[in-house]
């Protein structure tokens, strides 16, 4: 099992009755797997805050509950978390949070262990898939033992790497009394919350004592007394691989911190090193407690602490020779990929940076956006974030889920004289719009903003694998569900009906006309695109296209679409009548990949792109 699958299985075996999440890599598969298990309600919630609220409600009703999210999702859910830590739980409540250490698919690398301190709740950190399973079951017990939500902190390494997991059978669990009315606990007015604060701190002190004796925190003695390590989560595995003979304390319950147990390890070794991903959270606390150790002075503060990162740093500490590790390079700008010529075929072969799929409905959108001048374009989180790259270069900002709306509004209201004539465009996907974009649109209409919104409805949460949402009209099990009407929704949020347009993103003339006209209107307008993601079953592929070599003039206009199915076969440089040089790019279409979306023919002046069947008949 992967760690994500193991978490779902562990929750199921623990008698969890309700599981809720919003998809987000690396946590997505927790709910996908949970939805396949019987006798447990599962849902894709509209965002992470709602998923946590659903889990809280189920817990108060007497059912063990789980919600899952990636690290940035807990930012969204934190409002509910920070109140519920005062109120406590009914049945066990577990929050599985997946940190993206190394930024595989995220806009930041925040450390969710901070939330344990901030919310005064315990944090469990499994080191492999088996522990992901075991710790999930244990988390429900700890939640009920201390009347608190519990954070199960995962990382990409734990979520996606597979291992052998031994599991058992489901144990039914529910609190017979159901929801018990208790206004002095669940109604978080200032007066009630003040009374709950001392109880929260008493609980935290009790959990701290528990951490000293908890079997999840273990000292493993080593034969090499020169060095000892403090670890948690996957760093334990990295340390054991790099230094199998070193003494190690493995913190399965990493918060509250077992200070006495760590002091015990410190007496057994010459040097104590804390290896934690990614922030020096434990390091700061332990140093403040007077424990001598080394941490981020010798280890990096970004990325995974894999053995090839640990060994050079520790070797220096021990006076041993070790190869240097190249420093992490941070890209400063998005550059077009550089081609190389395949000697076997003579075709330009490009490296594979992230790009949109063949026939993606977003391709035509960014093609049109790249042709509209004097604009500032605010982007959002999703597949369409790739519009910032080559060949479109059609996004100017991307911050966080739903931020395109508020940032576009701020760009409008904060514009200076130099930008007075610029047009402001916000680009947002269907799922992101429902997640956190609706509030931004309401703010734009309420405050008389001047923003043109491109609402890209592809009927799926495309970036995380095509999960269903209210735009698809199906639930997590693929069953029929309510389907949102974006036109009516935008009208309800204050956009005038005549300023709402629905267009087919494969119809470039209609799309370009709608964009060109709406950016001129000095009030909010919405352009809704209406074609599905090419990777879901709503999409219907059409016959493929090909290029007639005899007609192709090498203009390269079709390359501006950015479709991965279009390849350059050769380049030529010609001298124009005015003496300047012009590079021609002759192309071919990989007909096996082409889905017949009909985008590229609309860019071809000499009509060199035609259906493959017609070309064969010729």
Q: Burial of 460 by CB count in 10 Å (0-12 exposed, 13-18 middle, 19+ buried)?
A: buried
Show the DSSP H helices in 505-578 as ranges: 508-518
Give dist(CA 107, CA 432) in Å, integer.
Answer: 15
67: left (phi over 0), alpha (psi -120 to 50) or beta: beta
Q: Known binder of ligand: residue 16? A: no
Q: Known binder of ligand: residue 214? A: no
Give dist(CA 506, CA 401) in Å, integer.
Answer: 26
Q: List the beta bridge partners of residue 501.
A: 527
Show the DSSP H helices in 232-327 as ranges: 234-242, 259-266, 281-288, 307-318
Q: Known binder of ligand: residue 594? A: yes
Q: Which residues of 585-613 are buried (b: 16+ CB within 10 A; e: fewer)?
A: bbbbbebeebbbbbbbbbbbeeebbbbbe
Give dist(CA 230, CA 255) in Å, integer.
Answer: 13
Give dist(CA 410, CA 398) in Å, integer.
Answer: 14
Tell me if the bond preceding 391 is cis, omega within 30° of 0. yes
Q: Known binder of ligand: residue 67? A: no
| DSSP secondary structure letters along 366-377 | HHHHHH--SEEE
* The length of the chain, given as a count of residues: 618
Q: Known binder of ligand: residue 604? A: yes
Task: Please say whether the beta carbons of 397 and 378 come within 8 A.
Answer: yes
Residue 361 structure tokens = 């409905």
Name the pairing type of β-strands 375-378 and 423-429: parallel
Nearest to 306 by CA among 199, 471, 161: 161
Q: Known binder of ligand: residue 600? A: yes
Binding-site annotation: residue ranges: 552, 555, 558, 563, 594, 597, 600, 604
Binding-site annotation: residue ranges for [4Fe-4S] cluster: 552, 555, 558, 563, 594, 597, 600, 604
């Amino acid at each position: 099992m992967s760690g994500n699958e193991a978490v779902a299985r562990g929750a199921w075996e623990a008698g969890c009755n309700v599981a809720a999440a919003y998809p987000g890599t690396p946590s997505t598969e927790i709910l996908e797997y949970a939805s396949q298990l019987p006798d447990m309600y599962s849902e894709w919630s509209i965002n992470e805050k709602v998923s946590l609220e659903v889990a809280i409600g189920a817990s108060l009703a007497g059912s063990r509950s789980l919600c899952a999210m990636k690290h940035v999702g807990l930012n969204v859910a934190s409002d509910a978390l920070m109140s519920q830590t005062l109120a406590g739980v009914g049945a066990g409540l577990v929050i599985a949070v997946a940190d993206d250490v190394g930024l595989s698919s995220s806009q930041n690398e925040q450390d969710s262990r901070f939330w344990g301190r901030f919310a005064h709740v315990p944090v469990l950190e499994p080191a492999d898939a088996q522990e992901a399973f075991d710790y999930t079951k244990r988390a429900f017990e700890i939640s009920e033992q201390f009347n608190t939500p519990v954070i199960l902190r995962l990382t990409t390494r734990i979520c996606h790497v597979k291992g052998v997991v031994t599991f058992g059978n489901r144990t039914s669990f529910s609190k017979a009394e159901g929801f018990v009315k208790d206004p002095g606990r669940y109604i978080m007015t200032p007066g009630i919350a003040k009374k709950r604060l001392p109880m929260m701190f008493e609980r935290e002190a009790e959990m701290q004592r528990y951490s000293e004796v908890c079997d999840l925190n273990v000292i493993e003695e080593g034969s090499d007394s020169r060095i000892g390590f403090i670890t948690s989560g996957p760093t334990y595995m990295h340390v054991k691989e790099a230094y199998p003979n070193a003494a190690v304390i493995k913190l399965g319950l990493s918060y509250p911190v077992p200070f006495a147990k760590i002091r015990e390890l410190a007496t057994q070794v010459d040097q104590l090193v804390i290896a934690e991903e990614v922030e020096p959270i434990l390091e700061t606390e332990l140093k403040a407690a007077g424990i001598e150790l080394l941490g981020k002075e010798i280890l990096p503060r970004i990325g995974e602490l894999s053995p090839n990162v640990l060994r050079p740093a520790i070797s220096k500490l021990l006076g041993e020779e070790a190869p240097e590790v190249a420093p992490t390079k941070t890209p400063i700008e998005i550059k077009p990929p550089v081609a190389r010529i395949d000697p076997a075929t003579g075709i330009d072969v490009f490296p594979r940076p992230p790009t949109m799929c063949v026939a993606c409905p977003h391709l035509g959108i960014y093609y049109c956006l790249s042709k509209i001048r004097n604009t500032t374009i605010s982007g959002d989180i999703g597949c369409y974030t790739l519009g910032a790259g080559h060949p479109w270069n059609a996004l100017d900002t991307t911050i966080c889920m739903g931020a395109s709306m508020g940032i576009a509004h701020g760009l409008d209201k904060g514009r200076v004289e130099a930008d007075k004539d610029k047009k402001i465009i916000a680009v947002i996907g269907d799922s992101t719009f429902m997640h956190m974009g609706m509030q931004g649109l309401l703010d734009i209409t309420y405050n008389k903003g001047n923003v043109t919104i491109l609402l890209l409805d592809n009927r799926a949460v495309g970036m995380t694998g095509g999960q269903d949402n209210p735009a698809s009209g199906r639930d997590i099990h693929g069953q029929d569900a309510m389907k949102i009407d974006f036109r009516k929704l935008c009208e309800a949020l204050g956009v005038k009906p005549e300023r709402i347009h629905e267009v087919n993103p494969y119809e470039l003339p209609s799309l370009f006309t709608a964009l060109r006209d709406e950016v001129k209107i000095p009030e909010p307008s919405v352009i809704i695109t209406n074609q599905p993601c090419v990777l879901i079953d709503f999409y219907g592929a059409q016959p493929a296209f090909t290029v007639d070599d005899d007609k192709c003039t090498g203009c390269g206009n079709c390359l501006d679409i950015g479709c991965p199915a279009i390849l350059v076969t050769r380049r030529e440089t010609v001298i124009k009548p005015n003496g300047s040089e012009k590079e021609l790019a002759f192309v071919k279409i990989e007909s096996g990949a082409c889905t017949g979306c009909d985008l590229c023919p609309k860019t071809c002046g000499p009509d060199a792109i035609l259906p493959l069947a017609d070309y064969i008949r010729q």
